[in-house]
Amino acid sequence: MLYLEDIQIGDRFISRDYLMTLDEIKQFAQAYDPQVFHTDEEQAQSHPIFQGIAASGWHTSAITMRLWTECFPVAYGLIGSESNLRWPRPTRPGDILHVEVEIVAITASKSKNDRAMVSYVTHTLNQKHEPVLISTTKILVFKKTFKHCD
């Protein structure tokens, strides 16, 4: 587990690969984002933007979250306070995704000396090293000396 003392600006974390399947795209979309360009291959072909089936951006975000938790194991969890994200291109069936995280800022708490806000930029990349998600996120990170209530 990583604590505040273990993290520095410029640190980078890279996840494992994750294969996006057609079935997974359709299942996620049916449950959470039921638009035809996520659920129907034939109708998606005639879409003016996607021109084929594409994963929901929220699905790509959920996979990014999974990969974050595996490659960036922060003590007490990834407790987010803010995130700004964009999807510069669609995630497609067969894409192999991975995330690259870089720490860009650490801001100590003014009222509690056992924690700080850590900002990082994430690029979720496909097998061509093209970004399918870019985000800037702030999380709460604790020092090893953090005292929690039992």
Residue-level pLDDT at 72: 94
The answer to whether 76 and 118 are in contact (CB under 8 A) is no
pLDDT in tens, 123-142: 999 999 999 999 999 999 99
Do 121 and 26 contact (CB within 8 A), yes or no? no
> pLDDT per residue over 97-114, tens digit each?
999 999 999 999 999 999
The pLDDT tens digits for 64-107 are: 999 999 999 999 999 999 999 999 999 999 999 999 999 999 99
DSSP three-state, residue 71: helix
The domains found in the chain, sorted by start residue, are 4-142 (3.10.129.10)
Q: In the block, which residue shows the tokens 């960036």?
A: 72
Instruction: For 49-69, write each residue's pLDDT tens digit.
Output: 999 999 999 999 999 999 999
Q: Answer yes or no: is pLDDT of 150 > 60.
A: no
User: What predicted TM-score, i.e. pTM, was given to this entire model?
Assistant: 0.93
